[in-house]
Structure 1
């Protein structure tokens, strides 16, 4: 087998145009893979998101574990019970288990 010098990675999900369909952070979550056992509360899941509108009058609560958000494109404003965090591409945001949060976007983001 010949080695491939090109970087291999997931192809990004397409972001729907806001004129066609409004998709917020929760509606735009896609589960890629997971490992472990949910009954024993031991494991991991990997999700990707695409969104084009903010979470208006909505919040999200992940009771399964901590949530790590790493934006690839576009800024997001994460509002938690403790305050607000502006997160840009190449930055991370960690939200603790059981914390309610909402995500505001400024255009198309993933």
Structure 2
């Protein structure tokens, strides 16, 4: 990331930083978080694409629906395989981490 003024720092920059961290992270053992990281990268790439194309309301509407659906699926134990659970948890957590940048309430209240 370049040294831009913070007034020019965008949600796209935040998402790109998150992708970069996952790809270059040496803090955690990669194999322990492989499925989680796969889910996070999938979400961040989708979020990045949409952040470049959508307006705020479209973006929030889409991702709040996804997170609410995933929450219900995880709570109802619709995912049986541990790898799938880890991947979907990573996917969900990545979306929430970006939504929190828009409004911190989305960490707690995901109703649109």
Return the TM-score normalized by structure 1: 0.25
Radius of gyration: which is bigger?
1
Report the structure, 1 or 2, having the larger strand content. Answer: 1
Report the structure, 1 or 2, having the larger helix content. Answer: 2
